[in-house]
Amino acid sequence: MRIAHISDLHLNPDYFPERTEAFYQILEKCRTLAVDHIVITGDITNQAKTKEFEHARSILKEFDLLDPAKLTVTIGNHDIYGGPYHAEDVLSFPGFCKGTDYDSKVKEFYSTFRETFDDCKYVSGTSVFPFVKIIRDVAFVGINSVAQWSSLKNPIGSNGDIGKHQYQQLKKIFASEILKGKTILVLIHHHFNKIEQKKSAGKLQRLWHTIESSTMKLWKKKRLFQLFNDGKVGKVLHGHLHSHNHYTRKNIDFLNAGGTVFTDSHGNHSFHLLDTHQKSIDHTNVRISISKQFKKALVNVK
């Protein structure tokens, strides 16, 4: 099976039309490459607004992707809390996050992409996450890594955590027969690698690195490393950090597609392409030259 992994689209048709253009180009490229299945690992919307969800849904419908056999999605922090537009909004944003109805936003996310969840298996029978979707010989395990708001551990809604209930459900999934003989791909929004600081970084860059490290982290990673190793996970697909890379930690392969709609230094945007076989997964990077009129418009947001 050929799988495309994209993430962090941050769609907003009014403020960031260039991201919609990039999304169209990526989906067209997937058609050209005869991709069987597309995975989106969160932050599909920018502000978790109903208009943004409807916009994303309309594009996926246009490409005939509202189908569990063609698309699997998991949720990101922007799909629940959104994010501040400007630097000055950071001060008021914790109050906005505190007032966000977390469960309601998860339900809206599910409702928007409901068709893609049709063939999912839920251990609890009621929760959207975690889920398992089996397609051919591949098992997609979807996790909600967005932490509940906390004044200390998640003040601006961008940190991650797998709550006790979801973790117990994951343990049941990995202990079940449903994954036996399958290639396991874990889909989660938050990253597992450390945010590296450049040696040449100035004072402002070092300050931002400190802020970013404490507000864009996944808590309790150690137990997840153990769970993924014991469960013989093939790869973990994620986003959150707006970069495009492949790394290994604790003997686990990770693919970050968080830079999908944000151009690199050459004006290209990228996504991961996976070809699964009975006992292996081939991985390549796909780079696309974005239209000239949109090159200067792409803006990186956290």
Summarize pLDDT for 61-74 with one digit per residue, the tens: 999 999 999 999 99
Residue 208: band (very low, low, confident or very high) from pLDDT cuts 50, 70, 90: low
Report the pLDDT value the prediction gives residue 203, as an integer from 0 to 100: 66
Output 230-233 pairs: Cβ under 8 A, ≥24 positions apart: 230/174, 231/174, 231/179, 231/184, 232/184, 233/141, 233/184, 233/185, 233/186
Give the Cα separation of 134 and 180 in Å (integer).
Answer: 11
Give the Cα separation of 29 and 32 in Å (integer).
Answer: 5
Mean pLDDT within 133-156: 96
Task: State pLDDT tens for residues 30-63.
Answer: 999 999 999 999 999 999 999 999 999 999 999 9
- Non-local (6+) Cβ contacts of 60 within 8 A are 66, 71, 113
Residue 8: band (very low, low, confident or very high) from pLDDT cuts 50, 70, 90: very high
Q: Please provide the size of the chain in residues.
A: 302
Mean pLDDT within 1-20: 96
Report the pLDDT value the prediction gives residue 198, as an integer from 0 to 100: 63
Domains of the chain, by residue range, sit at 2-295
- What mean pLDDT, rounded, does the chain reach? 90
Sign of the torsion formed by the C-alpha atoms of 64, 67, 71 and 75: positive
Bridge partners of residue 252, in order along the sequence: 249
Asked, as a colleague might, if the bond just before 130 is cis with ω within 30 of 0, I would say: yes
Please report, in angstroms and rounded to a whole number, the separation of the first and last CA atoms in the chain: 32
Lowest-confidence range among 55-69, 127-141, 156-170, 200-214? 200-214
Residue 211: band (very low, low, confident or very high) from pLDDT cuts 50, 70, 90: low
Report the pLDDT value the prediction gives residue 298, as an integer from 0 to 100: 41
Question: How many alpha carbons lie under 13 Å from residue 107 in its C-beta half-sphere?
Answer: 6
Q: What is the per-residue burial (b if ≥16 Cβ within 10 Å, else e) of 238-261? A: bbbbbbbbeeeeeebbbbbbbbbb
Q: Which CATH class is domain 2-295?
A: alpha beta
* Cβ contact 193:244 at 8 Å: no
- Give yes or no for residue 295 having a pLDDT over 80: no
Residue 294: band (very low, low, confident or very high) from pLDDT cuts 50, 70, 90: very low
Give the Cα separation of 206 and 168 in Å (integer).
Answer: 38
Report the pLDDT value the prediction gives residue 278, as an integer from 0 to 100: 83
